[in-house]
Amino acid sequence: MTIAITGATGQLGRLAVSAILRREPVADLVALVRDLDRGADLGVPLRQADYHHPETLRAALAGVDVLVLVSSSDFNDRAGQHRNVIDAAKAAGVGRIVYTSILKGAASPLMLAPDHVATEAALAASDIPGTILRNGWYTENYTGSLGAALQAGALIGAAGDAVLSTAPRADYAEALAVAALDAGMAGKTCELGGQGHTLAELAAEVSRQTGRDIPYVDMDEATYRDTLVSFGLPAPMAAAIADADAKARDLGALTDDSGALAQLIGRPATPLSVSVAAALAAL
C-alpha cells in the first residue's frame, strides 16, 4: 500500500511523515512537496506537487493507494486548491483520501470553515472513499505567542472564559498516521479535540512554570484583531485568529468533549502543561 502526504514539508505534514514511519517503519510512503530541495531530510521519496498547478498532481499521485490531504495553508482559494487535488486523485485511481478538516464541519461558525466544508463536499462528490479528521485548534496557536506574552507581561486574546479543546500538532499527526494506515477508517468522520482549558488557565500555567505573574487580558474581537496586526501579523490571519477566539467565546466553536482524539491515538491528548513546557524551552 502506497501512502502519499501533501504538504509534507509543512508543520503538520512533517510530523505526519514521522508518525507513520514510527507506526509502520517499512511503510511505502511518498512525500508530496512543492520544492524538491526542501524535503530531502524527510527520509522518504519525494514527488513534486503544487495545489495551484493541476498538471503536477496527477503524475505525483500515480500508484498511490491512500492520499493524506493536509489542508492548504495558502488562503488563495483553498477550496479550489483542494478540488484540484481531489480531481487528480480520482483521475489517478487513488483508493482513499484522508482529509484534515475543521472541528464541527458544516456546523462550525468560524470564518475558516467554508473552505473545509466545500472540500468535504468535493470529496463526497468524487466517490473516492474518504476519512475526515475534523481537527480542533492547535495548542501551538496559543503557545506560539508565549515569547511575546512574556515580553509584554500578559497573555492576550478574545476568548473570554471559553473552554478550548486544543491539542498539539504532534497529536493530530498521530491521528493522521492511524487513519492512513487503517483501511477500516474509510467512510468515517472524526471530531478531534484535545484537553479543554481556558486562556486564563493557560496564563496561570505559564505563570507557574516561569515564576512570573502573567495574567490573561481579554479583549473584544476588533481590538484583538487590530493588536495582532500591530504586531506584524497579516490582516487576514489576524482576522481569522480573532474570529476563532470570539466564536469560541460566544458559540463554543473550539470545544469538543467527545474523547475521539484520545481513542484514535490510544492515549490521552498531550496535557497543556507539557505543551507550555515545550514552548518555553524553545524560546
> Is 6 domain-assigned?
yes
Do 146 and 132 share a structural domain? Answer: no
Do 146 and 29 share a structural domain? Answer: no
Strand partners, 134: 101, 191
Average pLDDT, integer, range 162-179: 98
pLDDT in tens, 149-158: 999 999 999 9
> Is 114 domain-assigned?
yes
Last residue in a domain, options 152, 176, 192 = 192
> Is 261 domain-assigned?
no
Do 154 and 173 share a structural domain? Answer: no
* Residue numbers of the domain that contains 88: 2-136+168-192
Residues 162 and 128 sit within 8 Å (Cβ to Cβ): no
* 3-state SS string for the chain: CEEEECCCCCHHHHHHHHHHHHHCCCCEEEEEECCCCCCHHHCCCEEECECCEHHHHHHHCCCCCEEEECCCCCCCCHHHHHHHHHHHHHHHCCCEEEEEEECCHHHCCCCCHHHHHHHHHHHHHHCCCEEEEEECCECHHHHCCHHHHHHHCCEEECCCCCCEEEECHHHHHHHHHHHHHCHHHCCCEEEECCEEECHHHHHHHHHHHHCCCCCEEECCHHHHHHHHHHCCCCHHHHHHHHHHHHHHHHHCCCCCCCCHHHHHHCCCCCCHHHHHHHHHHCC
Do 48 and 26 share a structural domain? Answer: yes
Q: How many Cβ atoms sit within 10 Å of the Cβ of residue 212?
A: 10
Give yes or no for residue 27 having a pLDDT over 90. no
> Is 78 domain-assigned?
yes
pLDDT in tens, 128-153: 999 999 999 999 999 999 999 999 99
The CATH number of the domain holding residue 173 is 3.40.50.720
Do 252 and 146 share a structural domain? Answer: yes
What is the pLDDT, as a whole number, of residue 213? 98
Number of structural domains (the chain) is 2
What average pLDDT does the structure give for the chain?
96
Do 155 and 50 share a structural domain? Answer: no
The CATH number of the domain holding residue 273 is 3.90.25.10
Q: pLDDT band at 122, cuts 50/70/90?
A: very high
What is the pLDDT, as a whole number, of residue 76? 85
> Is 156 domain-assigned?
yes
Cα–Cα distance, 172 to 190 (Å, whole number): 12
Do 223 and 118 share a structural domain? Answer: no
> Is 183 domain-assigned?
yes
Do 82 and 159 share a structural domain? Answer: no
% of residues, the chain, pLDDT over 90 = 95
Give yes or no for residue 190 having a pLDDT over 90. yes
What is the pLDDT, as a whole number, of residue 41? 92
> Is 126 domain-assigned?
yes
> Is 83 domain-assigned?
yes
Do 207 and 183 share a structural domain? Answer: no
pLDDT in tens, 38-94: 898 999 999 999 999 999 999 999 999 999 999 998 888 999 999 999 999 999 999
Do 149 and 130 share a structural domain? Answer: no
Do 270 and 182 share a structural domain? Answer: no
Do 247 and 187 share a structural domain? Answer: no
Read off the C-alpha cell for 150: 512574556
Instruction: Report angle CA 215, 143, 33 to the nearest 5 degrees.
Output: 160
